[in-house]
Amino acid sequence: MELLPDNVTLEIFDLDGIPPFNQNLETNMPAKVIEFKSKIRENDALLIATPEYNYSVPGVLKNAIDYASRPYGDNPFNEKPVAIMSASIGMLGGARAQYHLRQIFVFLNMYPVNGPEVIVTFAQDKFDANGKLIDDNTSKFLKQLLQNLANWTRRLKG
């Protein structure tokens, strides 16, 4: 939050409680999915922070995206600016999850910020015991990503 540009707010949405995707529920979405879709529509842009599991997007994130983009023709992600950041205890920092998200964004017709890529490698060394980011280089890249997302969002809104 302390790295946000001026005149920018950040609302965090917890995906906990979104059930496994079930296409049979598209016409009667669970309440948590309805809330998620509403938040996507209400906000000017998205920032996705993700780890990487098994070389890809965590199942809970993919599940939430699948639910929110349904039914066909009711896609709140359409033409939405988006930025990604990832962290991992490994040396690739979630890069493969980011790549897979970018592939998903093509189908959803989203407008991703291309840089800087915020890929936090060896994350356990970059945060203190309270979860506060203590790595100056990571802070610099994250601050620039947030600024670029704000600029991109303003540009797309005209």
pLDDT at 2: 87
| Angle of the 59-68 helix axis to the 95-108 helix axis, nearest 10 | 10
Q: Which CATH class is domain 23-157?
A: alpha beta
What residue ranges do the domains of the chain occupy? 23-157
Give per-10-residue mean pLDDT for the chain (158 aa).
92 94 90 96 96 93 95 94 95 93 97 95 94 95 97 94
pTM, rounded to two decimals: 0.92
Q: No. of H helices and E strands in the chain?
A: 4, 4
Q: What is the 3-state secondary structure (H, E, C) of 85-140?
A: EEECCCCCCCHHHHHHHHHHHHHHCCEECCCCCEEECCHHHCECCCCCECCHHHHH
pLDDT at 1: 85
